[in-house]
Structure 1
Amino acid sequence: MNLRPPRPRQSRESIVPMINVVFLLLIFFLMTAQIAPPDPFEVTLPLAQEAADPTSESRLYISREGQTGYNGLTGAPAMELLIEIRDKRDPLQLRADAELEASRLAQLLRELAQAGFQRVEVMVGG
């Protein structure tokens, strides 16, 4: 009869806790990431010899036909959303197509000024 206590087994380190931590980090980064909406339409920026870096992340698009786009919306709903949710003191990027008529651009800038926007950056290509 064998009365000796059994030999203790070598325990192997479990990798499950590390997998759990990796998945938790992945979920955290996916939840906190800011995913930018796609551009509402293709815009060809006018060319300039010098261009400054934009100071704002918020973009208002205007096509060559004069259609506006903001945050995934186009037309009048885009402008309504822009005026509703934007802080008027923060700069706004205006990405106007190079073939847009200057009179339509001037009209849009007047509308933005009347809505209370204090600073609009017209973006150009280099």
Structure 2
Amino acid sequence: MRAAGRRRFREPTIALINIVFLMLVFFMVAGTLAQPLDRSLRLVRTQDLDGRAPPDTLVIHPDGRLSFRGNDVATPETYLATLDETDRAEIRIVPDRDLPAGQLVAIARALQAAGAGRILVVTERGLE
């Protein structure tokens, strides 16, 4: 009788190669689903534009001073007194970058207490 030899197990490398290949094909197809931009298209450059607040917003300066359409406003309550009911439903405020966060929150709370509806903070979005 022959002695039982050790059987060698082969690793399923072919199956692993097939899976990797299928993943490669999947990512190639998924990456090309979005239409590429036309090469002759030139996007708008916003680098040289002046950063100005929208005209119908309450601007809060770094020292806490309020202004609306270029005119100084004494308090958030006096600002709301100049608006009609439909404009009070949604208030946009533009705080300066150097304004302390606590002061911004205090002004927003004063606006809500005076009857403002929804308060939106307009910020700059950096796309780098």
TM-score norm. by structure 2 comes to 0.48
Where relative contact order (Cα < 8 A, 6+ residues apart) is larger, the structure is: 1
Greater C-alpha Rg:
2
